[in-house]
A and B are shown apart, each in its own frame.
Chain A
Amino acid sequence: MKRLVCLALALCLCCSIAAAQEKVSVAAAANLSAVKDELSAAFAKKYPQYAAEFTFGSSGTLVTQIKNGAPFQVFMSADRGFAQALVDAKLASGESAVYAVGKLILLTTKDLDLGKGLAVLKDPAVAQWANCNPETAPYGRAAVEALTKAGLYDAVKPKLVSAQNVSQALQFTLTGADLGFVNKSALYSKEVKPYDKEGKYWIEVDPRLYAPIEQAFVLLKSAEASKVATAFSSFLASAEAQAVFAAYGYGKP
């Protein structure tokens, strides 16, 4: 019994030590998951007393959660629209600000002729292609926009496999589907590294075919008074953060 009490006390102690470092809780669009570690490291380097904790989802999902009281402090959207939705709902402190510009790529793990560009989707060798839900995920919307502009969408829609966010689209692309539209930063994750051969396994979707994916963030009103949260939001505009985004294939705001 005594030993059990000691163990419990030790556990509590460990937990409280871990909690001593103040953490900002960030709701981040799924496309940021590859950047997370380096972004956290850069933040911790600039503010050694603070740390960042991320929760990932599609931007639409996260907005719904925040509107219903999810205790996040900063929201990093995959576009302007969803960040603006929180400003409109009077849940944000101040305006939204763009921190990076996302790029859309078409990725495959198979031997397909990507030289055809987007038209490769019409190829009979492609039985299924993955995209994330255009209603909630900005990358999904960009892909639909590009395909529509290229006059391909209606023809290839029957082969579409729909994912809930861009991470799941990537997961589908790496497992069951032949091709998928994903964020360019995904190329930097460990699982995708073997396929980081431009032209062979991926091509960038022509940015003229879709409205720029301007990824914006907001500081939430409930976190206005939090020092760590305000530090994180000013960090996102800093040169250090911008360097991280640039290293992961994002464009400058």
Chain B
Amino acid sequence: MSLDFAPFLVSARLAAWVTGILLCLCFPLAWLFSRSRGRWAIWVESLVCLPLVLSPTVLGFYLLVFISPRGPLGSAFQSLFGSRLAFSFAGIVLGECVSSLPFMLTALKTGIAGVPEALFEASYSLGKGRLETAFRVVLPNMRSGLFAGLVTTFAHAIGEFGIVLMIGGSIPGVTKTVSIAVYERVEALDFANAQVYSIILVVASYVGIFMLNNLKRREGRR
């Protein structure tokens, strides 16, 4: 039995990129959505949360059309970076950013909403701007929300299957993630390797969820 560990590396790299990008992207969005009273916010928020309920195949289909070399996004990417977006690592990072966005956004929003209003007011009245308030007051006080966002996004990015199947092209070491590897092993009737991949995934997921619940419980006791 020869086990190929490259799919784990691809998945880990992919999840790290997706989590990092979404953290930077979702924090300002979450701030906006949790503190804005504007009526437009709910429209935008509903739009970006669509992947929560939409089938990954719908996303996969649209992404495939948009990122193909003839699609608007694909051709723009190619003229900017000189490489293809379809069937590339950047392509699946993009796809998973879209599909994992609601997970990060919801967690961060809950986190920001949990920070007492008084802290915001204190910071503002001491003459601190929004940026400094965000980094020195809000972020340190929403640790569990932040952690929840990181863990659920990372885990979701590892587990995502449908989109990667549709736009990845299963290129070893590039777009062949561990979820795809499990699928292909099962298809090839190679249950032994599918078993090994799956057990590792189950254990890793359990550890992640356990850590998350543990942190929540400790925060609750405070």
Contact of B188 among A60, A160, A175 (CB under 8 A): A60
Whether B87 lies near A177 (C-beta < 8 A) is yes
Q: How far, in Å, is B134 (CB) from chain A's closest CB? A: 39
Report the bound CA distance from A185 to B89 in whole Å.
Answer: 32
Q: How far, in Å, is A170 (CB) from chain B's closest CB? A: 13
Report the bound CA distance from A155 to B71 in whole Å.
Answer: 28
Range for the number of chain B residues in contact with chain A: 20 to 34
A161 proximity list for chain B (CB < 8 A): 87, 169-171
A154-172 to B contact mask, C-beta < 8 Å, 1/0: 0000001111100000011
Report the bound CA distance from A63 to B170 in whole Å.
Answer: 21
B26-47 to A contact mask, C-beta < 8 Å, 1/0: 0000000000000000000000
Q: Does A84 contact B (CB under 8 A)?
A: no
Give the top 8 A-B pairs by smallest Cβ distance, nearest first.
A176-B86, A161-B169, A162-B170, A175-B68, A176-B68, A135-B188, A161-B87, A136-B187
What are 11 sample pairs from A and B whose C-beta atoms fall under 8 A apart? A60-B187, A60-B188, A64-B189, A127-B84, A128-B86, A136-B187, A161-B170, A175-B65, A175-B68, A176-B169, A177-B87
Other 20 A-B pairs with CB < 8 A, given A161-B171, A162-B176, A177-B169:
A61-B187, A64-B189, A133-B187, A135-B188, A136-B187, A136-B188, A160-B171, A161-B87, A161-B169, A161-B170, A162-B170, A164-B165, A175-B68, A176-B67, A176-B68, A176-B74, A176-B84, A176-B87, A176-B167, A176-B169
> Contact residues of B with A, CB < 8 Å?
64-65, 67-71, 74, 84, 86-87, 165, 167, 169-171, 176, 183-184, 186-189
